[in-house]
Amino acid sequence: MQIAKLSNTISLQRSVEQANADHVTTVREVIEQVRKNGDKALFNYTEKWDGAKLTSLRVTEEEVEKAFASFDSQLITDLEEAAVNIRAFHLQQVRQNIDFPLEKKSYIQYKITPLDAVGLYVPGGTAAYPSSVLMNAIPAIVAGVKRVVIVSPPSKEGKLPASVLVAAKIAGITEIYKVGGAQAIAALAYGTESIQAVDKITGPGNSYVALAKREVFGKVAIDMIAGPSEIAIIADETAFADEVASDLLAQAEHDRFASAVLVTTSEKLAREVADEVEIQLKQLPREEIARASIENFGRIYIAESLAQAVDAVNELAPEHLEIMTQHPEDISDQIKHAGAIFVGRFSSEPVGDYFAGTNHVLPTNSTARFSSGLCVDDFIKKTSVVYYTEEMWQEQYPKIARLARLEQLEGHARSVESRSWKKGDSN
């Protein structure tokens, strides 16, 4: 890994456009074909890109039960416990209606309503991600969404990974479709003969999925345009080089465009980590992917102080931030911008990825400066409610009319004044 003295800022942004400029035309064509041809387009693209010739898209109950029956019992227990943790954490995020009484028996209200239907994209291809099922499905269910749909690309044999089906059963999702890529996003947004359209799409995916989500935004809501995974680590001389290196590589193995950054006050640790990364890379099954990430987007910076390190990381606003210092909680209190913070050497990033209960769908490319990870709020909408009695209206309408005329909106003023000649019914 490259080692350098830390300047004032760190910038390793890798936008969807930068990584995949040639994909936009393809994605737009796919979306248009799905809009025009529905299921026929889904079958064609699934055969073309996934190598699976399907006659139906929906996963059957028999397929789910077969996957569950054949799956390792210990892993089922582990997934179930992870689901309990995720549900418990997200239950704390549930909002209630806010009722604000006014004078004269009037009131205003902030009404919380769950979305009717959401679609969850679960990545496939080089790996299976049951954790993505739990992280997307459970907050939606906790929020009260009635229809939760999963889409995921099938294998050449026309099957979804057993682990994904098991996680779906644990989460309580029964509507699952064998379709991935931009075509799956288009189907969720516009609907086909088999797949009814949804109101919002969440979940990570490859560049085609990210671009498709951007294209359909406005027709449906989306969670975020997520870029490749990233991690930053703040460490001092008390950190262990092999642990730091393994945590950097845990993100690097995700994607060739993943970013792994260490900011340390110890030049000795910096050099030890660089050496350790090379040693561990050679032992990693996904070495080719991880090596490309480390060579292109991996960096080690030597800071003059922890204060300088904190300032640089706050500017970077990474998706994941690990703090491996002598007093990590003190450093954590100083972090303003990060998708998720992992405090101390025993809180490595995979703890949050899989088990602790916090959500692993997080903002990337420095968007943690203004956005948050997936949560229950992503699956609800908020509506204001106003109720004025006749007495309240009588007292307030002259003020409202004056404000309307201040903005030269005579129709608004007349609207509120039009009740002035009537008496009686306060409803």
Distance of alpha carbon 245 from alpha carbon 127, whole angstroms: 22
The conformation of residue 59, written as its DSSP 8-state character, comes to P
Q: Would you call 193 a catalytic residue per the annotation?
A: no
Q: Would you call 320 a catalytic residue per the annotation?
A: yes
User: Smallest Cα–Cα separation from 377: which of 109, 88, 113?
Assistant: 113
Tokens of 272: 């030890």
Single out the catalytic residue among 253, 320, 349, 360: 320
Q: How many residues does the chain have?
A: 427
CA distances from 342 to 329, 349, 361 (A): 10, 6, 15
Q: For residue 172, which amino acid is it? A: G
Largest CA distance in the chain: 85
> What are all long-range contacts of 328-331, with beta carbons under 8 Å and residues at least 24 apart?
331/234, 331/306
Single out the catalytic residue among 319, 322, 349, 360: 319
- Do 189 and 216 form a contact (C-beta atoms < 8 A)? yes
DSSP readout, 21-40? GGGHHHHHHHHHHHHHHTHH
Distance of alpha carbon 380 from alpha carbon 114, whole angstroms: 4
User: Smallest Cα–Cα separation from 309: which of 34, 75, 10?
Assistant: 10
Distance of alpha carbon 246 from alpha carbon 349, whole angstroms: 11
Catalytic residues: 319-320
